[in-house]
Amino acid sequence: MAKEEFLYPEKWLLKASAGERIASELRISIISGMIESGTILSENKIAADFSVSRSPVRDALKILASENMVQLKRMGASVTGLTDKHIEEIYDVRLMIESFVFERIVKADTGDLVKELSKILEMMKVAVKYGDADEFSCQDVIFHETIIRFINHSYILMIWNNLKPVMESLILLSMRVRFKEKYDDFQRILKNHELYIEAIKTKERNLMIQSLHQNFDDVQGKVEDLWMSQQLLAKGAGQGEQA
């Protein structure tokens, strides 16, 4: 597999093991629809594509199996994929996590958190200005993870970390589509993050509820973005074959 064909940003994988790198690329390929549900993944074929031994491939498939993306088979795996229902359930869990986190935040001194989130928001604005979907996605994940880490709750963080790999791919694919097809929508997205910060600063539950619902009631939009990303990727692949 040539480097230019990779969907997952290489700069996000600087500290990743070989197995994690392969899992990241296979995961986003499955979620994007480039690898379809029902596909049989061969350890030997993946090892050849990524120029590695079979050992990191096995590690990658075990990671994906733990996320219910594949079912392990002898010498490979069968792709189960990600349904609209799965996406909605992921965002349900995010909503529960961030609602819980806010209840802890209202009892704490949030001055430093507000400053840190404001810095991240500025980086998100720069990413929008320069049309960098990958950087925007990265900063968006960091924004929410910063809020979650603030309360120092080990089990909430464990749940978040379990969700994060699939969630990152969903966000990345969604934002890439939005930069191409719905660029004007980013002013609304940025305003919503400003509302999030204001809710944390003032510790106003009503503001937080408003912000959370604006953020998570848009799941159907994200499902549509995923469908559009599949069309764009398929079109790109077709152009590549004709070249």
pLDDT at 242: 43
Look up tokens 């498939």; give the residue.
Answer: 61
Q: The whole model's pTM is what?
A: 0.85
* Residue 99 CB coordination number (10 Å): 14
Q: Residue 109 and residue 172: Cα distance in Å, rounded?
A: 32
Q: Which residue has the higher pLDDT, 217 or 178?
A: 178
The tokens for 1 are: 């597999």
β-bridge mates for residue 70, sequence order: 79
Portion of the chain with pLDDT greater than 70, in percent: 86
Which one-letter amino acid corresponds to residue 188? R
Cβ atoms of 77 and 65 closer than 8 Å: yes
pLDDT at 70: 96
When pLDDT is cut at 50, 70 and 90, the band that residue 109 belongs to is very high
Portion of the chain with pLDDT greater than 90, in percent: 61
Q: Residue 211 and residue 188: Cα distance in Å, rounded?
A: 11
Q: Residue 169 and residue 166: Cα distance in Å, rounded?
A: 5
pLDDT at 59: 97
- Residue 231 reports pLDDT greater than 80: no
What rounded mean pLDDT belongs to the chain?
87
In 3D space, the residue among 94, 64, 95 whose CA is nearest the CA of residue 80 turns out to be 64
Cβ atoms of 142 and 168 closer than 8 Å: no
